[in-house]
Amino acid sequence: MFDDELRDLARRVLDRCRSAGLRLATAESCTGGLVVACLTEIPGSSGVVERGYVTYSNDAKREMLGVRADSLARFGAVSERVAREMAEGALARSGVDLVVAITGIAGPGGGSAEKPVGLVHFATLRRGETVRHRECRFPGDRTAVRLAAVRTALGLLLERAAGSPVVV
């Protein structure tokens, strides 16, 4: 399902989390659970991965993660604000140490001049630290955007687990 490079990156995330004693969760929208699927493809992942929230709809973001309705109305689901609230909600509701949140437009439709297809917002949060945000614009079709988002999310998890930037 995932190429060797993604599996190796997932393995590195799990190893780093395991050595640091961290448990993790994901809050995914446009990736539809691919990040947690990639992590759980690795044997022994249950020692690190607590859960994955797939919050594809705005209702799911509000109900499962506590994203504020006014944030969705004012900024839209694909925004820095919503990614940050997704990460905060996932951390608060799961009791883990580390989370990544992803919200974006994978296409082929749904894009606009302000928010084109390929726009993805990421937020990571480690317990006791502040939320970090990253905005990316990925080229390609739906599959390419989603796989690029998985790769980026895993890289961000690896950085947060290590406590400093890591070469991916």
Q: What is the mean pLDDT of residues 12-33?
A: 98
What are the extents of the domains in the chain? 4-162
Tell me, what's the pLDDT at 166?
54
Distance (Å) of CA 100 to CA 86, 97, 114, 134, 167: 9, 11, 24, 11, 18
Task: Give me the amino acid identity at 130.
Answer: T
Q: What is the mean pLDDT of residues 33-46?
A: 98
Tell me, what's the pLDDT at 165?
57
Q: Is the pLDDT of residue 18 over 90?
A: yes
CATH 1.10.275.10 applies to domain 4-162: no
Question: pLDDT tens-digit profile of 104-148?
Answer: 999 999 999 999 999 999 999 999 999 999 999 999 999 999 999
Mean pLDDT of the chain: 96
Tell me, what's the pLDDT at 33?
98
**Length, in residues, of the chain:** 168
| 73 Cβ contact list (under 8 Å, min separation 6) | none
Question: pLDDT tens-digit profile of 67-89?
Answer: 999 999 999 999 999 999 999 99
